[in-house]
Amino acid sequence: MGSALTCQHPAQAALTEADFLDEMPVVLSVSRLSQPLNETPAAVTVIDEDTIRASGFRDIPDLLRLVPGFSVAYTRDNTWAIGYHGMADAFSRRFQVLVDGRSIYGSAYGAVNWGELALSIDDIERIEVVRGPNAATYGANAFLAVINIISKDPSQTPGTFVSAQYGEQGMSGLTARYGGSHGDLRYRLTLSAQTRDRFETNAFEGVHALPVKLYEETQTYFLNGRADYRVSATDELSGQFGLTAGDWQAGHSGNPEEPFGQDVSAQYLQLKYRRAYNADDEWMVQAYFTRNTLDSPNHPELCLDTIENEIVVCPGGSPSPPLYIGIGERLEAGIDQLQTRFNLEFQMNRRLARDWRMSLGAEVRHETVESLRYFNTRGKLDGTLVRSYVNMEWQAHADLLLQGGAMLEHHYFTGTDFSPRAAINYTLAKGHTLRLNVSQAYRSPTFFEQKGNLTYSTTSGTPILQVFAPSDPLRPERILSREIGYVGQYQAAHMQLDVKVFHDTIYEYMNNDGTPGRFDNRDDFNVRGGDVQLNWRPLPALRLTAQFSRAFLDAEAAVDKDLPKSAPRNNFSLLARYDLGRGWTASAGVYRSGRMKWLSEGDTTQAFTRWDARLARRWTWQGHELEAALVGQNLGADYEEFRDTNIFSRRLYGSLSLNW
What's the pLDDT band for 294 if we cut at 50, 70, 90? confident
pLDDT at 209: 55
Q: In the chain, count of helices (H) and strands (E)?
A: 7, 44
Highest mean pLDDT among 103-117, 181-195, 199-213: 181-195
pLDDT at position 323 over 50: no
Strands (E), 515-650: 519-521, 525-539, 542-554, 570-581, 584-593, 596-597, 604-605, 608-621, 624-633, 639-641, 643-648
pLDDT of residue 197: 83
Assess whether pLDDT exceeds 90 at residue 426.
yes
Proportion of the chain in helix, strand, coil states, percent, rounded to 5: 10, 60, 30
What's the pTM value of the predicted model, to 2 decimals? Answer: 0.90
User: Ramachandran region of residue 352, left (φ > 0), alpha (ψ -120 to 50) or beta?
Assistant: alpha
Strand-pair category, 651-659 with 70-74: unpaired
- Per-residue pLDDT, averaged over 510-522, amounts to 83
Task: Check if the beta carbon of residue 471 is closer than 8 Å to that of residue 449.
Answer: yes
Q: What is the mean pLDDT of residues 462-474?
A: 84
Q: What is the pLDDT of residues 170-183, one digit of tens each?
A: 899 999 999 999 99
Which residue in 221, 179, 177 sits closest to 196, CA to CA? Answer: 221
In order of their start, the domains of the chain are 3-155+332-340+352-659 (2.40.170.20)
pLDDT, tens digit, 9 for 90 and up, residues 241-280: 999 999 887 666 555 445 567 788 999 999 999 999 998 9
d(CA 81, CA 69): 14
Lowest-pLDDT range of 215-219, 454-458, 609-613: 454-458
Mean pLDDT of 353-360: 96
Lowest average pLDDT, out of 334-348, 457-471, 538-552, goes to 457-471
Position 376 confidence tier, pLDDT thresholds 50, 70, 90: confident
- Give strand pairing partners of 97: 147
Could you give the CA distance from residue 240 to residue 100 in angstroms, rounded to a whole number?
10
- pLDDT of amino acid 304: 44
pLDDT at 188 over 60: yes
**pLDDT band, residue 110 (cuts 50/70/90):** confident
User: Mean pLDDT throughout 429-453?
Assistant: 95
Alpha helices in 238-383, H assignment, sequence order? 372-375
Q: Is the pLDDT of residue 198 over 90?
A: no
Give the model confidence (pLDDT) of 224-252 as tens digits.
999 999 999 999 999 999 999 998 876 66
Cα Rg, the chain, nearest whole Å: 25
Give the per-residue pLDDT at 645: 80
Longest pairwise C-alpha distance within the chain: 81
For residue 206, what pLDDT is reported? 52
How sure is the predictor about 464, in pLDDT bands with cuts at 50, 70 and 90? confident
pLDDT of the residue at 311: 42
Partnered with residue 246 across adjacent β-strands are 220, 264
Give the rounded percent of residues in the chain with a pLDDT score beyond 70.
85
pLDDT class of 316 with cuts at 50, 70, 90: very low
Euclidean distance between CA atoms 441 and 506, whole angstroms = 10
- The lowest-confidence range among 306-315, 355-364, 612-621 is 306-315
Q: Which of 15-19, 47-51, 407-411, 431-435 has the lowest mean pLDDT?
A: 15-19
